[in-house]
């Protein structure tokens, strides 16, 4: 707060991987809702003139989606004003977010992270928990694609996802894959162009 930071993402964090549990201990003195309640108290008692804004993570892929909505509601009651999603790649993800949005009044910031190659797409599908990369996305890549060709596919998919999710997203945040900032710049340019066209129609 003393350094001028007023926006925070509050998450509980992942448990220690099973292979490291002998040497590393998870500490859960605070979980996300507890910390949010503490921040809300700070806003009331100390920061009322310039309050902190904070939000949480949205696990839209949870099997019991209504349980996730109830957890979001607890976070909203603790003062959360926005939620960030994992990277989105499928129409199913968008529909789940649309369902959540219809049940709770809060801002949802959708994650966009372009896939840079066939290998990257497979890794995200098989190794990263909580991210859904459907087969039809992977099928758009080819093992023998050049770097430029694969990047073009990643940009196209990301722009399409942003276009499809426009009615449920209150904004987007971008994750830069392998420091390829040029991909994010191209996605933003294409999203801006689409937005300008839609405004003139």
Which pLDDT tens digit goes with each residue over 99-108?
999 999 999 9
- Which domains are seen in the chain, by residue range? 7-200 (3.20.20.220)
Residue 198 pLDDT: 66
Nearest-Å Rg of the Cα atoms of the chain is 19
With cut-offs at 50, 70 and 90, classify the pLDDT of residue 158: very high
With cut-offs at 50, 70 and 90, classify the pLDDT of residue 2: confident
Q: Supply the mean pLDDT for the chain.
A: 91
CB 121 within 8 A of CB 133: yes
CA distance linking residue 139 with residue 125, whole number of Å: 12
Which pLDDT tens digit goes with each residue over 125-150?
999 988 999 999 999 999 999 999 99
Distances (CA, A) of 112 to 10, 87, 90, 98, 188: 19, 5, 12, 16, 11
């Amino acid at each position: 707060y003393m350094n001028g930071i007023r926006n925070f993402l509050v998450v509980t964090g992942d448990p220690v991987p099973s292979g490291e549990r002998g040497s590393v201990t998870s500490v859960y003195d605070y979980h996300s809702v507890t910390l949010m309640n503490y921040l809300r108290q700070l806003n009331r008692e100390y920061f009322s003139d310039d309050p902190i804004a904070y939000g949480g993570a949205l696990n839209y892929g949870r099997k019991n989606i209504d349980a996730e909505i109830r957890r979001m509601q607890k976070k909203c009651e603790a003062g959360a004003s926005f939620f960030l999603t994992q990277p989105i790649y499928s129409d199913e993800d968008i529909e789940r977010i649309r369902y959540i949005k219809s049940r709770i009044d809060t801002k949802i910031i959708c994650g966009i992270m372009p896939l840079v190659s066939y290998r990257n797409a497979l890794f995200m599908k098989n190794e990263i928990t909580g991210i859904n990369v459907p087969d039809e996305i992977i099928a758009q890549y080819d093992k023998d694609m050049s770097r430029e060709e694969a990047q073009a596919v990643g940009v196209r998919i990301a722009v399409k996802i942003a276009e499809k999710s426009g009615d449920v997203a209150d904004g987007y945040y971008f994750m830069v894959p392998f420091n390829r900032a040029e991909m994010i710049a191209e996605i933003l340019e294409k999203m801006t162009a689409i937005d300008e066209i839609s405004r003139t129609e």
